[in-house]
């Protein structure tokens, strides 16, 4: 069974240092991370290999959803790698709230590249320790991942535009 890989790339009109900070400073991260219309809150942020990000996002009228990242690599300002999971408020891993067959863990890699005064981000996701059923759910969810990460990156783009020095 081959492991599928989801990839999305976006170029942001902001210097790499600012884009890196948006991903690695909790007060900045919670301003943009999540689908459009959600509000985020970071509960724990320990940016180092083995460290944890535990955060929540809430949409109007929707349930509060928690995420847990366990960082594997932190290479400023060019690379972040973590295990990405849904969690509960205490940080325990839980199943996807809307897709029970979703993998419990995804390996996430984000590459930050200079691009002529702008920053190109390439994000990849791949299932970790997943069953065949979980891999199939991941493959079937790729269109939704494009939409979800696309909306998240739209929010990051808006945040970066407001955060850039004039």
Note the Cα 15 to chain centre separation in Å. 20
* pLDDT digits 0-9 by tens, 101-118: 999 999 999 999 999 999
Task: Please provide the DSSP assignment of 2-55 as one string.
Answer: PPP-EEEEEEESS-HHHHHHHHHSHHHHHHH-SSTT-EEEEEEE--STT-EEEE
**91: its two tokens:** 């940080």
Indicate the pairing of strand 105-115 with strand 93-94. unpaired
* pLDDT digits 0-9 by tens, 64-108: 999 999 999 999 999 999 999 999 999 999 999 889 999 999 999
* pLDDT digits 0-9 by tens, 11-45: 999 999 999 999 999 999 999 998 888 889 999 99
**155: its two tokens:** 């929010």
Domain 6-163 top-level CATH class: alpha beta
The one-character DSSP state at 130 is -
Q: What is the pTM of this model?
A: 0.94
CA distance 1 to 11: 33
């Amino acid at each position: 069974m081959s492991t599928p890989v989801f990839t999305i790339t976006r170029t942001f009109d902001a210097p790499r240092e600012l884009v890196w900070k948006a991903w690695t400073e909790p007060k900045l991260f919670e301003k943009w991370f999540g689908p459009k219309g959600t509000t985020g809150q970071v509960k724990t942020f320990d940016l180092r290999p083995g460290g944890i990000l535990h955060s929540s996002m809430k949409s109007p009228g929707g349930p509060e959803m928690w995420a847990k990242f366990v960082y594997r690599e932190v290479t400023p300002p060019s690379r972040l790698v973590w295990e990405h999971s849904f969690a509960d408020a205490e940080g325990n891993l839980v199943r996807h709230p809307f897709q029970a067959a979703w993998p419990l863990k995804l390996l996430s890699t984000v590459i930050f590249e200079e691009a002529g005064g702008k920053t190109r981000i390439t994000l990849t996701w791949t299932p970790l320790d997943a069953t065949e059923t979980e891999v199939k759910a991941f493959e079937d969810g790729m269109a939704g991942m494009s939409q979800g990460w696309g909306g998240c990156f739209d929010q990051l783009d808006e945040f970066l535009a407001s955060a850039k020095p004039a």
